[in-house]
Amino acid sequence: MTNAVVLLSGGLDSTTVLAIAKAEGYALYALSFRYGQRHQVELEAATRVAQAMGVVEHVIVDIDLRRFGGSALTAEIAVPKQRALEQMGEGIPITYVPARNTIFLSFALAWAEVLASSDLFIGVNALDYSGYPDCRPEYIAAYEQMANLATAAGVEGRQRLKIHTPLIQLSKAEIIAKGTALGVDYALTSSCYDPGPDGRPCGQCDSCLLREKGFREAGLDDPLCIQYGLKTASVKNR
């Protein structure tokens, strides 16, 4: 069985990617980060997901991006709420964490070399996303090219790294439909940028609104909403 390193935030997208990698027959090595994010309940979600998916190993790495700040997720900056979808598509939002995916992929690359793995999975999306520059296809292509020049295994011909982005051209509804078909329990996940201490989603940040839109367009109830006694996306507009 081939090893794969999967970046797992505990959110909807990364959980779906983990399920896809599992369905493709990879031995799963899940990698999460405690980077100073205000929504650390996502790490509890990542742990639940990793256990449910039967990963070989789940590593949570500690790095402190709060030292740099610059994002509503890592500094005392308000998380934007109740923005229209049109607003989300304008510019780069304050929830962007500077160079986050570059940092995360670097850790994943290092672990993949140790595991003799040539496969990294990441849940970036270029359609229903909030304008993040490190979620674009051209960014992934450039990083993959760099990664194959960056390791001893690559230089010696023992590794030809491939960054798998199975969600990159899917809508949120298509992602949810795909994950549901693979048996993903989205009640285990956490998408909210500003959740309550008990993990209750705020329902108003960009991530919550995009998640709601996805479930509504997929015609499905969000099991996380049901878990917290909230009106679900598909029910809301019936």
Residue-wise pLDDT for 159-202, tens only, equals 899 999 999 999 999 999 999 999 999 999 999 999 998 899 99
Q: What is the pLDDT of residue 235?
A: 43
Residue 237 has pLDDT above 60, yes or no: no
Question: Contact at 8 Å (CB) between 131 and 90?
Answer: yes
Per-residue pLDDT tens over the stretch 65-108: 999 999 999 999 999 998 887 787 778 888 999 999 999 999 99
Question: Contact at 8 Å (CB) between 5 and 104?
Answer: no
Q: Which backbone phi and psi does 140 adopt, to 5 degrees? A: -60, -45
Q: CA–CA separation, 37 vs 33, rounded Å?
A: 9
Beta-carbon contacts of residue 238 (< 8 Å; ≥ 6 apart): none
Kindly give the residue spans of alpha helices, DSSP state H, lying in the chain: 12-23, 41-53, 85-88, 100-114, 137-147, 152-155, 172-181, 206-218, 223-227, 233-236
Of the CA atoms within 13 Å of residue 126, those in its CB half-sphere come to: 12
27-60: burial string, b at 16+ Cβ within 10 Å, e else: bbbbbbbebbbbbebbbebbbbbbeebebeebee
The pair of structure tokens assigned to 178 is 């795909």
